[in-house]
Amino acid sequence: MKKDRIKEILLSFKEGKLTLERAVESLSYKELAKNNLIFARVDISRKIRCGFPEVIFGQNKKAEEILKIVDSFLEKNENVLITKASEDIYQYLSKYHQNASYQKEAKMITILKKPPLKSLNKSDYLLIITGGTADIPVAEEAYVTADFVGTRVERLYDIGVAGLHRLLSQEEMLLKASVIIVVAGMEGALASVVSGLVSVPVVAVPTSTGYGASFQGLAALLTMLNSCAPGVVVVNIDNGFGAGYFGAMLLKDERRRESGSDLESRIN
């Protein structure tokens, strides 16, 4: 466990945000191993260790299994995010948790026990761009993921290289972003173009959008991996969740560097 995570736990206990029992649980890997549902081992304290809470992958899980995992999180007063969730799963969960919310395009379910902790720096934002309208479901997965942990997110959809003027007309928004996620299918050239215009990290997401020779996103993936513009990192095909996660982490690390030894001074 990283030292700054341990400091956060101790600080939360000092400020009365964590009980002694919860702090001990958060610090003990042996204690964490007790969150065992036979079919799933629920990692309640991943947020403290890694900075991002555990997320439930909904695909191929039974509704009853998902409900038990959800209840494990809610019992600890933790927010819940479920990816690759069908509307049937949502309808089932909403019978037990009326505050469940379904983002249909992203195929994600959120259940909030407490509001996400928003960044105090209002100028920092994660910008999500799509090449076309068909890429929006993957982009929305990235949006919901980053928003779930309190990241400020802005969107620019359908501004691909087929009409480059659409991208260039948004120059101000591009240049002010702290991190940019580019979601594109077909040949996936948009990520290289964007990275050649900005001085911030670009997270490229190839999508399975396109005709036969796009090979369900493989063509876009290879284009993005072979980008001649530096500063591009690539996630897997259609992996909006991975991009949103990474983008949120980049912004969090940037805020941590700017704050310097703020956590240290608060503990001392």
Convert the pLDDT of each residue in 20-68 to its tens digit. Answer: 877 777 666 555 555 566 566 777 667 766 777 788 898 889 998 999 8
The predicted model scores a pTM of: 0.79
Query: What percentage of the chain reaches a pLDDT higher than 90?
Result: 44
CA angle 136, 182, 118 (to 5 degrees): 85
Give the residue extent of every domain in the chain: 35-111, 126-256
Pick the CATH number of 126-256 from 1.20.1250.20, 1.10.3720.10, 3.40.50.1970, 3.40.50.1360: 3.40.50.1970
Taking only the tens place, the pLDDT of each residue in 176-210 is: 999 999 999 998 899 999 999 999 999 999 999 98
CB 207 within 8 A of CB 237: yes
> Rounded CA gap, 37 and 56, in Å?
14
